[in-house]
Amino acid sequence: MTFVLPGCDSVELRKNGREIDVDIHNLQEFIDLVLHYTFHETIKMQISAFKKGFNSIFPIESLKPFSSAVELEDMICGTTKNDEEWKNPSLLMENIVPSLGYHSKSSEYLNFIKFLTELDQAERRMFLKFVTGSPRLPHGGF
């Protein structure tokens, strides 16, 4: 075995890697180089493209007004600070509109609202993930 990426003979992990045998003395270096290449080098182009795309929507200057990384994360990924919204039946009823034969006085609808108010944070995340594909509400909540 030499300092070539396993399964890909065209990638030398070190200069002249094809000529350097892996032995007990340089095994850790070989492992570190394989991990580095696998988890860093192989995704460089994708990360670069993501950064370019992200910057085209949110230029770095537009992100400076945010006071913290948490605020920015909430804007992009959705909010996790919404306990009050989930505990407020009237707010839930404003945002969950019954249809298909159900109405605001339907026992099924009212039981559903009650069920939602009783969920803890972990259960809310699982419910949202099931219903929307995301474990968080969008920025701004309901």
When mean pLDDT is compared across 16-20, 73-77, 110-114, the lowest value belongs to: 73-77
Q: Do both 29 and 57 map to the same domain?
A: yes
Q: What is the spatial distance between Cα 93 and Cα 16, in angstroms, rounded to a whole number?
A: 68
How many Cα atoms within 13 Å fall on the side-chain side of residue 115? Answer: 9
Residue 125 has pLDDT above 70, yes or no: yes
Is there a single domain that holds both residue 86 and residue 41? no
**Distance between CA atoms of residues 131 and 115, nearest Å:** 15
Average pLDDT, integer, range 13-38: 94
Q: Is 2 in the same domain as 40?
A: yes
**Residue 16 and residue 45 in one domain:** yes
pLDDT at 33 over 90: yes
Whether the pLDDT of residue 47 is over 60: the answer is yes
Q: Please report whether residue 73 resides in a domain.
A: no
Residue 37 structural domain: 1-65
Does 46 share its domain with 103? no
* pLDDT given for residue 98 in this prediction: 87
Q: Are 20 and 2 in contact (CB under 8 A)?
A: yes
Residue 98 gets the label, from left (phi > 0), alpha (psi -120 to 50) or beta, of beta
Let me know: does 44 contact 37? Beta carbons within 8 Å.
no
Given a cut of 80, whether residue 34 has pLDDT beyond it is: yes
Would you say residue 138 lies in a domain?
no
| Cα 109–Cα 114–Cα 120 angle in degrees, nearest 5 | 135
Q: What are phi and psi of 53, to 5 degrees?
A: -65, -45
Which domain-ending residue is among 14, 42, 65? 65
Predicted structure pTM score: 0.45
Residues 30 and 2 in one domain: yes
Whether 86 and 56 share a structural domain: no
Number of domains comprising the chain: 2
Q: Which residues of 3-136 form beta strands (DSSP E)? A: none
Q: What is the pLDDT of residue 140?
A: 55
